[in-house]
Amino acid sequence: MELIRIIRYQDGQTSFRVVVKSLSSKELVRIQVPKPLDRNDGTFLMRYRLYDTVNEGLKIDVLYGDEHVAQSPYILKGPVYHEYCRCPEDPEAWQEVLSCPLEEPQIAEDFASFLSIDLQQMLREVPKRFGEERGAVVHYTILNNHIYRRSLGKYTDFKMFSDEILLSLARKVLLPDLEFYINLGDWPLEHRKVKETPGPLAIISWCGSLDSRDIILPTYDITHSTLEAMRGVTNDLLSIQGHTGKCSSLGKPCRSSTYYKYQVNVDGTVAAYRFPYLMLGDSLVLKQDSPYYEHFYTELQPWKHYVPVKRNLSDLLEKIQWAKDNDEEAEKIARAGQAATRELLQPHRLYCYYYSVLQKYAERQSSQPKIRDGMELVPQPDDNTSICQCLRKRSTREEL
């Protein structure tokens, strides 16, 4: 799946035609192009998914009637690889193409507790502290762009989500060699303080909290919906933007077309994973104060992107009344929150975030990663149905 750009048109109609085809008439490729998503604010989102690699490149025509609009046509110079093509690229070039941010505030905050990561301490302590029978931790090693893992504990079925994003990354970019542990449970694990002896362990989790030291990655829900967009998931973070103006429950359009002007976000077990879906809608989001957070929360500000509500919800009615009495300001907050979340959760930003965490983790490890006893190779998906030929020149690890 690729996100090209937002298409702007002001008449509110969705009678656009988007045609995506190879630049070369000699290349026959399968390309899925669904209808543009109407965001109901004068913008449309166009998506496509390749099922074959295109060597020469792609031409994208955006037509209104028979006329090109929105600076169409677009030319993407080849090769353009499909999702399961294994052609990892030089990290610097890859990050430049994706316009990865130079710094992510949450990553900087997480690694402030870990100027050095003692791998030997991790090997000694993680299995005992977090890998017993009720554990939900997976031990990974990445060597030469191959993924190896072993499960620690009984509840590790969600490793399919961490596997799929790591494998997807490895198909696109040369990953650093490193060894790490991912917590697949809901709660963050490491509550030791930085000044304690022994110090905190650099556990990676999907959710953080004010009293923990876990390093945070985008949640499995966010990454899975991105990877499976236009395939196995019907309401991913992009398609849900075409349902704005309709009510939403856990990110899924309601059967009723009633528009909810206000949405209240309340924690579940930890941070509510429906929060990004609510923020992508048109509603003003009233967010419960919470000790839990996801990877992008630091980029959102109360009273700028959402309306804060006390932890015990005692001021909820008061805040709803404020929104009713200050409709213009409430609308401004809703739009700002929606725009910020759209930017923060674009697919390329999630890939950038994952790579940056792995890169910084590798830089801080004090010893060389190894394939440990009990680890198994996590295989890449078969690519028997599509031709995949790596044509771009990429640097070897020795050159890097």
Does residue 298 lie in a domain region? yes
Two tokens at 193? 């303080």
68 with 213, same domain: the answer is no
Q: Do residues 51 and 30 make contact, with C-beta atoms less than 8 angstroms apart? A: yes
Range of the domain at 46: 2-82
Q: Which helix (H) or strand (E) holds 40?
A: none
Could you tell me if residue 324 is inside a domain?
Answer: yes
Q: Is 399 contained in some domain?
A: no
Q: Is 148 part of a structural domain of the chain?
A: yes
117 within domain boundaries = yes
Whether 69 and 207 share a structural domain: no
| CATH number, domain containing residue 24 | 2.60.40.10
Residues 214 and 140 occupy one common structural domain: yes
Two tokens, residue 164:
């799929």
Amino acid (one-letter) located at 148: Y
Q: Evaluate whether residue 144 is within a structural domain.
A: yes
Which one, of 68, 55, 80, lies nearest residue 18 by Cα? 68
Q: Are residues 306 and 199 in the same domain?
A: no
- What tokens were used for 70? 């929105």
Q: What is the pLDDT of residue 234?
A: 58
C-beta separation of 199 from 17 below 8 A: no
**Whether residues 264 and 324 fall in one domain:** yes
Cα distance between residue 210 and residue 206, in whole Å: 14
What's the start-to-end Cα distance of the chain, in Å? 29
Q: How many domains does the chain have?
A: 3
Under-70 pLDDT residues of the chain: 1-14, 230-235, 243-259, 383-386, 392-400
**Same-domain pairing of 214 and 114:** yes
On whether residue 6 sits in a domain, the answer given is yes
pLDDT tens by residue, 319-353: 999 999 999 999 999 999 999 999 999 999 999 99
**Domain assignment present for 258:** yes
The amino acid that residue 104 corresponds to is E
317 and 356 within one domain: no
Would you call 250 helix, strand, or coil by DSSP? coil
Residues 135 and 216 in one domain: yes
pLDDT for res 233:
52
Domain shared by 68 and 175, yes or no: no
CB neighbourhood size of 90 (10 A)? 17
Same domain, yes or no: 262 and 297: yes
pLDDT of amino acid 263: 94
Say whether both 217 and 358 belong to one domain.
yes
**What is the C-alpha separation between 347 and 105, in angstroms, rounded?**
18
Question: What are the backbone dihedrals phi and psi of residue 381, each rounded to the nearest 5 degrees, phi first?
Answer: -60, 150
Same structural domain for residues 206 and 109? yes
